Structure 1
Amino acid sequence: MVVGYVDPNFPNPMGPHDARIVIYGYTPSLAVGILGVALFLLASGLHLWLLLKTKTWYFSTMLVGLVLEIVGYIFRILSSQQDPYSIPWFVVQYFTIVVAPVFFSAAIYTIVSVLISIYGREHAVLPPNVILGVFITFDVVATIIQIAGAALVGVAYSNEKDPTTPSNILLAGLSIQVASFAIFLVVLGWTLIRARQSSAKVSSVFLTTLILATLAIFLRTCFRVAEGAEGLMSALSVHEAYFGALEFAPVVVAVFLLAYGHPGRYLKRPGRQDEKRMEPNAGMTS
């Protein structure tokens, strides 16, 4: 007897790369897949335009993450329409969608680095180069572990073996990521509190969008840790409603907030006289 979800409306092709069950725990929704591709394509266009217009090259990791999101949702569409049992398609979409927010986090780290340069290092908890070095290093380590875990999960299902150990490896990577991001939230909050003493002012709109986008990414990361802790084929992983509400929606909100509150529109590094450190076309800062 096959244990796991089998779509009664989608016969298993039983190809060499097909699992005996649908590893998702459900057949992915075509609507979610199309919506994901469309929204992330739109966000990519916005971020590319803003990147070229403002030349904020340090924020280019946003585009890398968006490309990964698009690839992931393309493979969810393929799974929903052609073969939900395909192990390679599951692994590709899982890997790209799980890893993409790491690049969004890196972009947020660079924003904080620029903010510290604006406010003055005396108002920061840590120097900007330390923030970039420490948190990006944690993300790189976490990403490598997640890639290894996702690949091993695919191998385990291909060989019809217990995926518990590779799932735990994946969980370890996610746990490192959520722990480091939680520490970063403390650093961000502390920096913004101390920055009140700085004579430099940054748009409240920008700071609000930054905080909301950061919290959205953190919510999504916490969901992935909870999902990994429960294990594959558990409640959080076999209901696409959780995926839509706690993975898809927070990331969409974050990338569009970071487009609206793009640092190229609101920030300038000290010494650059051709840009304004305030809201575009506005005469006030807060």
Structure 2
Amino acid sequence: MPTLETYLGTILWHYVPNMPLAIVFTILFCLVSVAHAWKMFVTKTWFCIPFLIGGIFEVIGYISRAAATNATGSLIPYIFQAIFILLAPVCFAASLYMVYSRVVRAVHGDSFSLISPRWATVVFVSGDWTCLNIQSSGSGLLVHPKQVAIGTYIIVAGLALQVLMFVVFMFCCLNFNSRFRAHVAESGATSDVPWQACLNMLYSTSLAILVRNIYRVVEYIMGKDSYLQNTEWPTYVFDAALMFLVMIGFFIWYPSQLRPTTRDSMIELTADGESSAEHGRTVKPSMGLSIFPLFRIFKLLTSESDR
């Protein structure tokens, strides 16, 4: 029978992880990740690569939780589940940020967005990368008993920054939605882009990730002796289940119509509902070089936004 053990005299777990539950979520995340991989390759939506990576992180995390059931004194499964489950939503967020930029570009609604789509991708994804580095650095310190408190503070800082970014991101989405909807109602313009469905998907998935991040902030702030860290069910309710729903929602309302190859077929919204081609002009998003070295990290994933 599984029992709680210690690692060099330090208690890693305050409960014995539920193996059947961990296996169930491992299978669920594995299935939905395979579905996302298939969808991504079929539609060639390469900007969804971070989302797929997030799904793989979830699989690794819950496999590690299952393995920890009979090895509560082993450091590797404990660290693996802590790091990969913690960082998966950061990867999900990266693709959500890029979806917003592509929605704006697809309907040629740059003037209705608080941040230009090109810079929205750079700013939010760079911020996401920062959150990833902060949280992974904090997670790395959890392996050292004397630095657990410092690691926890760093993780909380990374999560708090991610919460702030999501609030700003959702405000940008809502502001664009309101202004663009007013433009459509006033002009009677039409588009073959399902922009409202994509925005609704962003609202629901972003809200789920926001709730999860707030839960994690509260969990780490309350400390090792808190109810949240001494009870397993909140992890599955406020993290595993929410992230699984995020992956399901993203798959159902997959942003495949936002890939660059279909952008030429989009109808540009104008005051009289005519396309720019009928006005004898072609819209070409401006090209530009990144001015910060960090942005080059995302060049492959964001280059489609600048085409």
Distance 1:150 1:51, change over 3 A: same
Partner of 1:84: 72
Alpha-carbon contact 2:142-2:148 (below 8 Å) kept = yes
Aligned pair count reads 259
Partner of 2:234: 242
C-alpha deviation, 1:58, in angstroms: 1.0
Cα distance in 2 between the residues matched to 1:210 and 1:180: 14
Cα distance in 1 between the residues matched to 2:263 and 2:247: 29
Cα distance in 1 between the residues matched to 2:216 and 2:78: 16
Alpha-carbon contact 1:145-1:169 (below 8 Å) kept = yes
C-alpha deviation, 1:220, in angstroms: 0.8
Distance 1:242 1:276, change over 3 A: farther
Aligned counterparts, 1:175-254, within 5 A: 175-196=160-181, 197-198=183-184, 199-201=189-191, 202-203=193-194, 204-254=196-246
Give the alignment's Cα RMSD to 1 decimal. 2.2
**Structure 2 residue 29 is matched with structure 1 residue 40:** yes
Cα distance in 2 between the residues matched to 1:9 and 1:63: 33
Aligned counterparts, 1:51-66, within 5 A: 51-66=40-55
Cα distance in 1 between the residues matched to 2:37 and 2:267: 21
C-alpha deviation, 1:19, in angstroms: 4.8
Distance 1:111 1:186, change over 3 A: same
Cα distance in 2 between the residues matched to 1:243 and 1:31: 15
Aligned residue among 3, 7, 13 for 1:10:
3
Cα distance in 2 between the residues matched to 1:231 and 1:247: 18
Partner of 2:19: 30
* CA deviations over 1:235-275 (Å, ceiling 9, x no partner): 212211111110111100001100001001x43557433x8
Cα distance in 1 between the residues matched to 2:264 and 2:38: 21
Q: TM-score if structure 1 supplies the norm length?
A: 0.84
Cα distance in 2 between the residues matched to 1:73 and 1:163: 22
Cα distance in 2 between the residues matched to 1:272 and 1:68: 35
**Structure 2 residue 255 is matched with structure 1 residue 267:** no
Alpha-carbon contact 1:20-1:85 (below 8 Å) kept = no
Q: TM-score if structure 2 supplies the norm length?
A: 0.78
Aligned residue among 155, 161, 164 for 2:144:
155
Cα distance in 2 between the residues matched to 1:223 and 1:276: 42
Cα distance in 2 between the residues matched to 1:258 and 1:138: 21
C-alpha deviation, 1:22, in angstroms: 4.4
Alpha-carbon contact 2:205-2:250 (below 8 Å) kept = yes
Partner of 2:301: none
What are the ranges of 5 or more consecutive residues in structure 2 without an aligned counterpart?
Answer: 269-307
What are the ranges of 5 or more consecutive residues in structure 1 without an aligned counterpart?
Answer: 1-7, 278-286
Other structure's SS at 2:227 match: coil
Counterpart amino acid of residue 250 in structure 1: L
